[in-house]
Chains A and B, each alone.
Chain A
Amino acid sequence: MEIDRADGRQPNQLRPLSCSHNFLNRAHGSARWSHGDTTVIAAVYGPKSGKKTNENPKKASVEVVWKPNTGHIGRDEKEYEIVVKRTLESICLLTVNPSTTVSVILQVVDDDGGLLPCAINAACAALVDAGIPLKHLAVSICCGLTESGFVVLDPTKSEEQSLQAFTYLVFPNSFRSVLPGSPLSVEIGPFENGIITSTTHGVMSVENYLFCIERGRSASAALSEFLRKSLTKWNESNS
């Protein structure tokens, strides 16, 4: 089952990841995340007092502003805003600071496919940087299905256009037990088997979708390991 990818990657090989933290001075937290050539900057302000009407006063709310690299804000950007907002709301501890708003501003720097997953990863790293209380982290990935029925991970923009279907998935990151005395171990529990967010484009069979989830999940372990390492490194250099 060999398939050729334009950039010579294996089907389940991700593009090189990079992540830097806290490079914006005024923001309470910021992060820059890249999947290959796709780069998104996230800035977090908050928790600020006050919030929109019509929302639950016992909970904090998350506000997401999406800035495209070119052009106006259209329907796609509005949809991205809601997807990121709902995803972040489900990983934040909203009851800690009731009646406040956390603003997340996402600036697209470069779009080479998998923009939404990159933005979610950037937003998540920026939330950690700003010290917003979170239940757990989330990692996001794009899985594509080729015409011949193979699953490829993290497709570039030109690959995305030739795919039969692709899906953006968000998984919770894997837990690591930090009990004193016991060796550090990454456990795959029932917790990681869930998906937080899923959006799909194109038609595929249900079996293929479940296959995409499975492949995405195994890759999400590597992603969450990368996120954890980069956060630890930043923490150490900061202290």
Chain B
Amino acid sequence: MGSTDGIQADIASEIEVDAFRRLFPLRFYERHLSESVRPDARPLNKARDTSVALGAVSSADGSALVKIGHTTMLAAIKVEVMTPSLDSPDEGCLGIEFNMPPICSPSVRPGQTAELAPVISKQLSDSILSSGMINLKELSLISGKAAWMLYLDVYCLDADGALFDAALLAAVAALSHLRIPVVSVNDDGRVVAMAGEHVEGKSVREPINREKRKLTFSCIPFSLTCILHQKYILADPTAEEELIMETLVTVVLDLSGRLVSLYKLGGNLAYNSTVQDCVALTRRRVKELHQILNEAVSDMEVD
């Protein structure tokens, strides 16, 4: 190895930075890491700029557009009335789907589902449902007869690393933007929307739920993906970093600091101390993300 390193060093002094980055990507990164900085001028443990915009899709009942660096996710929720299953007559249902259309990355071919899409989809529904963020009983309208079905779709518009983090933030933001519409039961016993009727003050039919309402969240999950490379931990990787250094760890924590999910697929070994470091980084990130989300929600309410 020593001799090839030597050759690379010789070449390094002669060729341009861009060429070096393409020819020896790992070495290029390692040089940066040894100076505790990343090629986009971030320190190792800092996440990229994050923004949340609520209500991006006007036809949906709740929606959000989230950007983490260049990674862009659009989440939208559509609500529908359904008949609850016999096993859980008092509960509504939440279906989560994650889509990676060919627009998001050169590695996704049209007509084929991206390899990662079903994994992220599963991770999203696991994190949101198992964290107990949503009380499914709250989605019930008439026990055994009618309940809300929420369809939450997350679209990846630009895949530049840390897809799960952005998808989870988008899903959570869309859920906090969601307003459950007012409905009533008509003479045929069917549940219909009460468009405008309640505004006049005297409605013909008794509404089941009084007003457009928000869901209450018992806790909110947030996540951070880290790359492990040798002794370094890089928070919030870009797509280029994910391609070069393969060991990814995703930690999902809720606001009270409980572990919702710790997801690591193969790669180099992770030791206890590394796991704890990743959890500590995530704790800090959860506070940041919570603040960003709160600001977006309060901006929305002022409008």
Seen from chain A, the residues whose Cβ lies within 8 Å of a Cβ on chain B are 54, 75-76, 78-79, 82-83, 85-90, 165, 167, 172, 190-191, 193-206, 208-210, 213
Contacts and interface: CB of A to CB of B under 8 A. Distances in A.
A198 B270 CA distance: 10
A208 B271 CA distance: 16
B272 A206 contact: no
Given A78-B119, A201-B130, A195 B269 contact: yes
B19 interface: no
Given A197-B266, A202-B130, A203-B258, A79 B118 contact: yes
A102 B262 CA distance: 28
B118 A203 contact: no
B277 to A, nearest CB: 12
A201 B126 contact: yes
B122 A83 contact: no
B265 A205 contact: no
Nearest to B253: A206
Contact of B264 (A82, A165, A197, A205): A197
A83 to B, nearest CB: 6
B130 A79 contact: no
Tell me the dominant secondary structure on chain A's binding face: helix
Interface in B88-104: none
Contacts, number: 95
A198 B262 contact: yes
Interface residues of B, number: 32
Contacts of A201: 126, 130, 261
A90 B115 CA distance: 18
Q: Which of B257, B266, B269 has the most CB of A within 10 A?
A: B266
A90 to B, nearest CB: 4
Contacts of B257: 205-206
A54 B107 contact: yes
Interface in B267-293: 267-272, 275-276, 279
Identify the 9 closest CB pairs spanning chains A and B, nearest first: A194-B269, A86-B266, A90-B266, A86-B265, A78-B118, A79-B122, A198-B264, A87-B266, A75-B118
